[in-house]
Amino acid sequence: MLDLRPVGYVIGLLVAILGTTMLLPLFVDFADGQGEWPVFLESAVFTILAGGILALSCANGVKQGLTIQQTFLLTTSVWLALPLFGALPFMLGDTQLGFTDAFFEAMSGLTTTGSTVISGLDDLPRGLLLWRGLLQWLGGIGIIVVAMVFLPELRVGGMQIFRSEGFDTFGKILPRATEISSRISVIYVALTVACAVSYGAAGMGAFDAVVHSMTTVATGGFANYDASFGAFAGPAEYVSVIFMLLAALPFVRFVQLTAGQGEPLLRDSQIRGFFAVAVALVLVMTVWNMSYDSGPHSGFRQTLFNTVSILTGTGYASADYMLWGPFPVTLLFFAGLIGGCAGSTACSIKIFRYQLLFASIKAQIQRIRTPSGVFTPRYAGRAVGPDVLSSVISFFVFFIVTMGVVSWLLALTGLDFTTSVSGASAALANIGPGLGDTIGP
């Protein structure tokens, strides 16, 4: 029989930690003289108590590591439990959202999707704006740990090729998670601080710089204004592009870089492929958009920013790209389905899966042309086993089928074809904004 106590213990600890982070927006609202601070106090007390009670009740079942079944249950349960408690400030606070909308907002934040149901962001108390940023920031590092620790062990979507990459630990899952997350956390915090300082130097106010640095490094896209990043047109867009690109790279490479190993960062086929795609998309979009903008500099800046934002799944918008014409909109739609590198905060299918898919197709074509030859798909100079390829292909098929089903369900609510398909894509790939008047930029 499956022992649920280790799973409950970890979930309880994470819920309690989430509750303690609610104290930060509490202090902000209290300092601002806002009457919203009791909302965060009530939410924090309830969340910490609930998480603490769950952890204490399951503490006697904690073992050294988790089984595969327990890990599957943990990775899915965490993404359901945390948004439930993260939704409390939205339900009790100034937004006064219903449960569905509040849960949607919290889920969008923790999964770094960036879609929002809140309008009038400009007038919200700063505590709630900070809470939205914190949700994405916490979700960003959570996504990295899941991608680096759990998915490779579970052999999900071809992630098994990254098992223990960059680390010498082959022990149980939980101790390995502690080691990896501690190393990555330092890099994650350092990038966030660097981003906040850079935003400040680019002209942002201190509060906006802090919140947007959290949502940039998490590639989440929650902004403090209804105009999204359109409120900061200028140098801040270039700063954002730099940190969105950095956040879309494998964080394990940053850890190796800090240890004096720079060669893996330069030789990583994922990174080379990601930058090749990014450069190609920006060049094509820039050439196309020159005739749509009043100034070449403004046209390039907006094209660069919005293209990188969609490619990395950050979801910021500094312009209404729906006005750019059918070709750019279509290109941005497919760019959102590419995403960044595995082990990053970026979204979507990820570059390495396309590389593995093309390697498999190339090997198959070679077998057809030369039946007597032996051709093995290779990735980063290593032969790729059939288990990895079947996992990647299964991921692609499952993703496409799921997107089709979700699109159909959205269409049943009365949405048009473009909104339904782009909405399903934006949710499944964690992009944030979709296409059309309802969910577009």
User: 163 lies in a domain?
Assistant: yes
User: 51 lies in a domain?
Assistant: yes
What's CA 307's distance to the chain center, in Å? 16
User: 121 lies in a domain?
Assistant: yes
Answer for the pair 178, 405: CB distance below 8 angstroms, yes or no.
Answer: no
Read off the pLDDT of residues 374-397 as tens digits, 9 standing for 90 and up: 888 888 778 888 888 999 999 999
Per-residue pLDDT at 177 = 67
Q: CA 427 to CA 114: how far, in whole Å?
A: 9
User: 430 lies in a domain?
Assistant: no
In the block, tokens 């965060």 appear at 40
Q: CA 20 to CA 230: how far, in whole Å?
A: 32
Per-residue pLDDT at 169 = 38
**pLDDT-based confidence at residue 170 (cuts at 50, 70, 90):** very low
Q: Count CA atoms within 13 Å of residue 384 on its CB side.
A: 27
**Least confident interval from 210-224, 271-285, 357-371:** 357-371
Q: What percent of the chain has pLDDT over 90?
A: 60
In total, the chain counts a number of residues equal to: 441
Mean pLDDT of 247-264: 88
- 378 has which bridge partners? 383
Read off the pLDDT of residues 325-364 as tens digits, 9 standing for 90 and up: 888 899 999 999 999 999 899 989 999 999 999 999 999 9
Whether the predicted pLDDT of 30 surpasses 60: yes
Q: What is the DSSP letter of 65?
A: S
Per-residue pLDDT at 266 = 87
User: 134 lies in a domain?
Assistant: yes
Mean pLDDT of 142-168: 75
**pLDDT-based confidence at residue 168 (cuts at 50, 70, 90):** very low
Whether the predicted pLDDT of 298 surpasses 70: no
Q: CA 185 to CA 167: how far, in whole Å?
A: 15
Domain housing 137: 5-186
What's CA 153's distance to the chain center, in Å? 20
Pairs from 175-184 (Cβ < 8 Å, separation ≥ 24):
175/64, 175/65, 176/149, 177/145, 177/149, 177/150, 180/145, 180/148, 180/149, 181/141, 181/145, 181/149, 183/255, 184/141, 184/144, 184/145, 184/148, 184/251, 184/252, 184/254, 184/255
Helix (H, G, I), strand (E, B) or coil at 280: helix
**Least confident interval from 164-178, 209-223, 368-382:** 164-178
Q: Number of structural domains, the chain? A: 1
**pLDDT-based confidence at residue 292 (cuts at 50, 70, 90):** low
How many C-beta atoms lie closer than 10 Å to residue 385's C-beta?
A: 13
User: 439 lies in a domain?
Assistant: no
- 379 has which bridge partners? 382
Whether the predicted pLDDT of 439 surpasses 90: no
Select the more confidently predicted residue: 296 or 339: 339
User: 132 lies in a domain?
Assistant: yes
How big, in percent rounded to 5, are the helix, strand and coil portions of the chain?
70, 0, 30
User: 252 lies in a domain?
Assistant: no
Read off the pLDDT of residues 87-117 as tens digits, 9 standing for 90 and up: 999 999 888 899 999 999 999 999 999 999 9
Read off the pLDDT of residues 233-244 as tens digits, 9 standing for 90 and up: 789 999 999 999
